[in-house]
Amino acid sequence: MTRRSRTARFAGQQVPAHRETAGPAGHSPSRASSSRPLRLAAFALIALAVGGVAIGLVVSRLQGPAATDITAVQVHASMGGFDPPALTVKAGQTVKVELSSMDTSMHSDGGGWHQFAIDELGIDWKVGPLSSEVFELTAPATPGTFTWYCDICCGGKENPSMQGKLTVTA
Ligand SMILES: [Cu+2]
């Protein structure tokens, strides 16, 4: 009888200690392209500024010249007519009127010039494109109504849109 000595051969199960050597080693994002948004913002600001100036120029051209004498009655003349189309003054009164042309020299009909003429009162004012001038108007001593006109553009003084009415009250 042989005894087989059974030697336990329990090899120590060596659990290999696989340690994660590649641990969380500072996951840092790349910062190489951080200046790009700044450049875009600067570009957008410049574009806005240039665009704003351009729009401002266009708007100012559409609006015509600004009043230079705020104490004067403002009368704007354009191809569309006079604004306001009527004025009222007292007999014998002298008023300042600032006449402005709202049209550019690009208008083939009159080149942007407009007129404010009242034959009976010897008034014949003219203003160039996108400019204004202050005139003095002395109303006659007796009440009445007078038609002023522009004979430069829009078919001349027969065109009702190029006319206005001056009323002289007592
Ligand atoms: Cu006119």
Does 85 sit behind a cis peptide bond, omega within 30 degrees of 0 on the bond before it? no
- Give me ligand 1 centre to Cα 125, in Å: 11
**Domains of the chain, with CATH numbers?**
73-169 (2.60.40.420)
pLDDT of res. 62: 58
- Give me ligand 1 centre to Cα 47, in Å: 38
CB 97 within 8 A of CB 135: yes
End-to-end CA distance of the chain: 156
**How far lies 155's CA from each of 152, 158, 161, 164, in Å?**
8, 7, 10, 15
pLDDT of res. 159: 86
- Give me ligand 1 centre to Cα 75, in Å: 12
pLDDT of res. 54: 52
Asked whether residue 12 carries a pLDDT value surpassing 50, the answer given is no
- Give me ligand 1 centre to Cα 43, in Å: 44
Asked whether residue 34 carries a pLDDT value surpassing 90, the answer given is no
- Give me ligand 1 centre to Cα 141, in Å: 28
The residue type found at 23 is G
The residue type found at 22 is A
C-alpha–C-alpha distance, residues 151 and 161, integer Å = 11
- Banded model confidence at residue 152, pLDDT cuts 50, 70, 90: very high
Q: For the ranges 35-44, 71-80, 159-168, which has the lowest average pLDDT?
A: 35-44
Asked whether residue 150 carries a pLDDT value surpassing 90, the answer given is yes
The residue type found at 78 is S
Pick the residue with more confidence: 64 or 89?
89
Asked whether residue 148 carries a pLDDT value surpassing 60, the answer given is yes
- Banded model confidence at residue 50, pLDDT cuts 50, 70, 90: low
* Tokens 């042989």 belong to residue: 2
Average pLDDT over residues 47-53: 54
Two structure tokens written together for 14:
């060596």
Mean pLDDT of the chain: 79
- Give me ligand 1 centre to Cα 58, in Å: 22
Two structure tokens written together for 39:
């450049």
